Amino acid sequence: MINYKKYFKYINGGRWENRREQYWDNHDRDCYVCGEFALELHHRIYDNLGDEKDSDLVPLCEDCHEEVHIMADVGEAPLYWCHAILSRAYNDDDLKLYRRLTNLRRRKCPRCSGYMRLRKGKYGEFFGCSNYPKCKAIIKK
| Whether residue 24 sits in one domain with residue 53 | yes
DSSP 8-state assignment for residue 66: H
| Whether residue 45 sits in one domain with residue 20 | yes
Is pLDDT at 89 greater than 50 in this prediction? no
| Whether residue 140 sits in one domain with residue 77 | no
| Whether residue 95 sits in one domain with residue 140 | no
Residue, of 12 and 114, whose pLDDT is higher: 12
- Give the model's pLDDT for residue 72: 60
CB within 8 Å of 16: residues ≥ 6 apart: 10
Q: Distance between CA 38 and CA 27 in Å, rounded?
A: 11
What number of other Cβ atoms are within 10 A of residue 15's Cβ?
Answer: 12
Is pLDDT at 121 greater than 80 in this prediction? yes
Domain count, the chain: 2
Where helices occur in the chain by DSSP H, the ranges are 4-11, 14-26, 62-73, 79-86, 92-104
| Whether residue 71 sits in one domain with residue 19 | yes
Q: What is the pLDDT of residues 4-61, one digit of tens each?
A: 788 889 989 899 999 999 999 999 988 877 778 888 998 877 888 899 999 888 888 8
Q: Is the pTM of this model over 0.75?
A: no
- Give the model's pLDDT for residue 34: 72
Is pLDDT at 107 greater than 80 in this prediction? no
| Whether residue 50 sits in one domain with residue 119 | no
| Whether residue 118 sits in one domain with residue 99 | no
pLDDT-above-90 percentage for the chain: 16
How high is the mean pLDDT of the chain? 77
| Whether residue 72 sits in one domain with residue 52 | yes
| Whether residue 93 sits in one domain with residue 26 | yes
- Give the model's pLDDT for residue 83: 57
| Per-residue pLDDT band at 84 (split at 50, 70, 90) | low
| Whether residue 117 sits in one domain with residue 75 | no
Q: Among residues 79, 32, 82, 39, which one has the least CA distance to residue 55?
A: 32
Give the structural domain span for 24.
4-106
- Give the model's pLDDT for residue 23: 95
Task: Kindly provide the b/e burial profile for residues 19-31, where b requires at least 16 CB atoms within 10 angstroms of the residue's own CB.
Answer: beeebeeeeeeeb
Q: What angle do CA 127, 129, 134 make, to 5 degrees?
A: 145
| Whether residue 66 sits in one domain with residue 93 | yes
| Whether residue 128 sits in one domain with residue 76 | no
- Give the model's pLDDT for residue 82: 60
